Amino acid sequence: MVLGDMHLKPGEAWEYCPREALRRVSKILNDEFNLVMYAGFESEFYLLKSALREGKEEWFSFDMTPYCSASAFDAASPVLHEVVAALQSLNIAVEQLHSEAGKGQFELALGYTLCSNAADNLIFTREVVRSVARKHGLLATFMPKYALDDIGSGSHVHLSLCQS
């Protein structure tokens, strides 16, 4: 995985680079309005397990429990605890983690930080979740709608403007 700025040539940022756009907006907010922008993401994802059916690998929901079920959290706790520990080792604050309304769906809320850090933290978080799930023989997906018969996943961002 690589996080980087997009340049037309060395020292000249591409005007449409998302990281550069965020830096420009942050600078305008600070220089013109004395404001700093913070963000915190909530990411929803599904944990899926595989099974062979008629010689083909198929993916199924990790569990079938309802919204905020403690038993869903308990069943996934080895994976979820490892995810939180890995994120903490990267200095990414986890404010909340719970099962969601979909079958095998979970939501992870990250702590507020400067927008540029929050954007990077979102990418790192998704990589950690997928990697830890894979280590446990599961598939983690952040797809908005992986199954037509279940609810979708979102990634919500909460923004705060504070005087600097």
Domain range list for the chain: 38-159
Which CATH superfamily groups domain 38-159? Glutamine synthetase/guanido kinase, catalytic domain (3.30.590.10)
Mean pLDDT of 153-159: 92
β-pairing, 12-13 with 138-141? Answer: unpaired
pLDDT digits (tens, 9 = 90+) for 99-112: 998 889 999 999 99
pLDDT digits (tens, 9 = 90+) for 48-94: 999 999 999 888 888 888 787 788 888 899 999 999 999 999 999 99
β-pairing, 7-9 with 94-99? Answer: unpaired
